[in-house]
Amino acid sequence: MLKRLLRKRTSPAETAATAAKLAMQTSTVVAHRLEEAIGFFAGRSNPHHYTATAYLGDNTVLALLHGRILIYLDTRGTDLAPHVMMFGIWEPNYTQLFQRLIRPGDVVFDIGAHLGVYALLGCVATGTGGQVHAFEPNPRFAALLTRSLAVNGFRGFAKVHNLAVGAAEGQSELRFNWEFAGGGHLATPRARVAPGVETVPCRVAAIDDLFPDPAFTVDVIKMDVEGTETQAVRGMAGLLARSPRVRILFEFAPGLQKAHGSSAAELIGLLEALGFAFWTVGADSGIAPVAATDLASRTGDIINILAARSDPFAA
């Protein structure tokens, strides 16, 4: 027995080697755990999403919005497309607020949808029990957004309307350039077409005419129509009046409104008469109350405004 015990004794060198091996294994496990932890928290603290992009030809790519929503993009743009292709995001402070406003089953409008970032996020937020209507006058972007809805399985409750929203039914001309096509706008009186600007005819329609059912209401609206906000609000005054919970997130640009024959005072006056109060939107997605008189007196700069009749986040 003593001989067997003596044979099993290890030398100091062997003991040291075993300890070193165990230490290496422990270090490897700890490194793996740290890597997993870093990935876990990075995905929740970093607004960027790691995204794959596939070029399909004809200036078209298929990318991932927020790392999970398929979206078709036009590669000629240097505004929205590069950000979504590389980082999977666009306007994170405004899109975060937009999603917070939506409850499952809500009716959501994206007026001036461009490539549909807000419409697609609205689809995810409201779900199959809700509705999403996107309004986009550019036929190329309307077609791409229709494909995006289809590939994500959203066509059952979401629709693209290839038209501009205005005060009444009519025809106009959309002017844009492919590099900054998100800034496309309806033709203005006396404005000449600058070099490099494309023009396409487009239908203009009033939302009240598109949704005449008195039982139909809307819950959340995002509106970015490059200066024709006043006309859009006039054309949906009936729907807004019968939609007590509606919240409107819109780009407020008095200079662009002036070019289209309106003003900050006219737009704010229309909304205030419908019972709306106003909040500015911060870079952190936070909101702060702002007086209607302050907004009505503005003549320049561009800010984003939230309008609602009561607490925007109330149930």
Helix (H, G, I), strand (E, B) or coil at 265: helix
pLDDT digits (tens, 9 = 90+) for 116-139: 999 999 999 999 999 999 999 999
Q: Is 23 exposed, middle or buried (0-12, 13-18, 19+ CB in 10 A)?
A: exposed
**What does DSSP say about strands 220-223 and 170-176: parallel, antiparallel, or unpaired?**
unpaired
Give pLDDT tens digits along the chain (315 positions). Answer: 444 444 455 566 666 556 556 555 555 544 445 444 444 444 444 456 667 899 999 999 999 999 999 999 999 999 999 999 999 999 999 999 999 999 999 999 999 999 999 999 999 999 999 999 999 999 999 999 999 999 999 999 999 999 999 999 999 998 988 788 777 777 776 667 778 888 899 999 999 999 999 999 999 999 999 889 999 999 999 999 999 999 999 999 888 888 888 899 999 999 999 999 999 999 999 999 999 999 999 988 889 999 999 999 986
Lookup result for tokens 């952190």: 284
Q: Any idea of the CA torsion for 42, 44, 48, 53, to the nearest 10 degrees?
A: 90
Q: Which residue has the tokens 């702002």?
A: 290
Structure tokens at 120: 């697609």
pLDDT of amino acid 9: 56
In CATH terms, the fold of domain 91-308 is Rossmann fold (3.40.50)
Question: DSSP strand E in the chain: where?
Answer: 54-57, 60-65, 69-74, 107-111, 131-135, 158-161, 164-165, 170-176, 185-186, 198-205, 220-223, 247-252, 277-281, 287-290, 303-308
Q: What is the pTM of this model?
A: 0.83
- How many residues would you count in the chain? 315
